[in-house]
């Protein structure tokens, strides 16, 4: 547990007011994440879960914003 300037990733709280990241056109992963995220955010959906929705959108936002360490 060294603290040499390595910061923990900020905890992202569910925030329904947050603007949606746009899914990258043609990317099936983005499309799936976007669909799951919007579904999890829909109170009428059986999959309604705001914390999961937040996870999906965080993942979607990161999917193409990883300039280094692309795996
Ligand atoms: Zn993608």
How many Å lie between the centroid of ligand 1 and the Cα of residue 71?
13
Q: Where are the beta strands (DSSP E) in 10-59?
A: none
User: pLDDT confidence of 10, banded at 50, 70, 90?
Assistant: low
In the reported structure, the alpha carbon of residue 62 is separated from the centroid of ligand 1 by a whole-number distance in angstroms of: 8
DSSP type of residue 48 = -
Q: What are the residues whose beta carbons fall under 8 Å from the beta carbon of 36, sequence distance 6 or more?
A: 47, 52, 56
Q: Indicate yes or no: pTM above 0.85.
A: no
Higher pLDDT, 2 or 28: 28
- Percent of the chain at pLDDT > 70 equals 65
pLDDT of residue 3: 59
pLDDT score, position 6? 63
b/e string for 27-48 if b means 16 or more Cβ within 10 A? eeebeebbebbebbbeeeeeee
Read off the pLDDT band of 65 (50, 70, 90). Answer: confident
What are residue 50's phi and psi, to 5 degrees? -65, -35
16 CA from centroid of ligand 1 (Å): 21
Ligand 1 mean position, distance from CA 2 (Å): 33
């Amino acid at each position: 547990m060294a603290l040499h300037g390595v910061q923990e990733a900020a905890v992202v709280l569910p925030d329904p007011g947050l603007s949606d990241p746009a899914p990258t056109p043609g990317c099936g992963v983005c499309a799936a994440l976007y669909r799951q995220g919007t579904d999890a955010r829909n109170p009428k959906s059986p999959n309604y879960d705001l914390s999961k929705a937040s996870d999906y959108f965080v993942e979607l936002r990161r999917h193409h914003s990883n300039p280094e360490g692309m795996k």
